[in-house]
Amino acid sequence: MDEGEVEAFSANIIAEHIYSQVDNKGYTHCTLTEIIDHRKDSSAVTEDDAFVTMPNGQKKPRMTTKGWQLCCQWNDGSTSWHSLKDLKESYLLQVVEHAVNNKLLEEPAFAWWVKKALKTGDRIIGKMKSRYVRREQKYGIEMPKTIERALQIDEETGTTFWRDAIHKEMANNAKAFEILAPDASTPVGHTFIKCHMVFDTKQGTLQRKARFVTGGNMTEAPPSITYDSMVSRELVRIAFLIAELNNLDIEAADIGNAYLNAPPREKIYIKPSLAQNSRADTQSS
């Protein structure tokens, strides 16, 4: 095959892989990104009609979601409206989060089931936390849960692996902070949040990794769900297809550290631990 035939063959292979992602009717299967809006019509139950009186005189909530719809944004960028009944069954926790963020808990269509769903979410998070706490080692290396323990491991082993990982992470994140004087007063209109380190070990090289994370649960949730956007597999393949058709070289790179460079909507501040500062190297930013 000549060069043109090779390019066409490669392009066809990529196109076939993209086509394989749809069913026999040509439909793609999208996943929910977030719920962005809600609405109700005249058939929705009002607060005055939210309860049913039983023969024994007791009042029970009217268990219906009739009249409510939610607007969903999907991973392909499209949006569509769907009934609360259907989304409640398929995306329970996302619907609950939207209800909480938009103060819909007292609406009759939500009041009779959301509190129970919140407890379900708490149980799921609790299981995830307990699973993390039980993970004490990885590749035979102890995984510290605190900065104090990480530095203690370095002292016990005569190394600086964890200390170096902490300094690297904080040096990369330092540019996102505005450092106030020790005697500065509490910033007006700002909310205090806690922060901590999450430690890990990289496969293959066994390099120690430290990630600085904040307690986002201590701030008021934004109106819409926040998430880290990811490039879909389909878009990557389309990019490869375009590059192949235009005889372009493809280069890849590894981003060592990423941080938000846009001003956050939340006004927050943190206080570094004095105990951690006393044990950390003074050259840390």
One-character DSSP codes across 45-88: PPGGGSEEE-TTS-EEE----TTEEEEEEETTS-EEEEEHHHHH
- Whether 113 maps to a domain, the answer reads yes
Domain that holds residue 91: 31-134
Divide the 285 residues of the chain into consecutive groups of 10 and give the mean pLDDT of each group: 53 58 59 89 90 86 92 85 89 88 91 84 62 64 88 92 91 78 79 85 85 72 56 81 89 69 69 50 32
- Whether 53 maps to a domain, the answer reads yes
- Whether 188 maps to a domain, the answer reads no
- Whether 77 maps to a domain, the answer reads yes
Q: What sign for the dihedral angle of Cα 89, 94, 100, 101?
A: negative
- Whether 166 maps to a domain, the answer reads no
Classify each residue of 31-62 as buried b or exposed e, where b means 16 or more C-beta atoms within 10 Å of its C-beta.
ebbebeebebeeebbeeeebeeeeeeeeeeee
Let me know: does 250 contact 167? Beta carbons within 8 Å.
no
Q: In this predicted structure, what is the pLDDT of residue 204?
A: 77
- Whether 83 maps to a domain, the answer reads yes
Q: How many domains does the chain have?
A: 1
The H or E element that residue 185 is part of is: none
Q: In this predicted structure, what is the pLDDT of residue 252?
A: 82
Q: In this predicted structure, what is the pLDDT of residue 104?
A: 92
Query: Beta-carbon neighbour count of residue 139 at 10 Å?
Result: 10
- Whether 122 maps to a domain, the answer reads yes
- Whether 97 maps to a domain, the answer reads yes
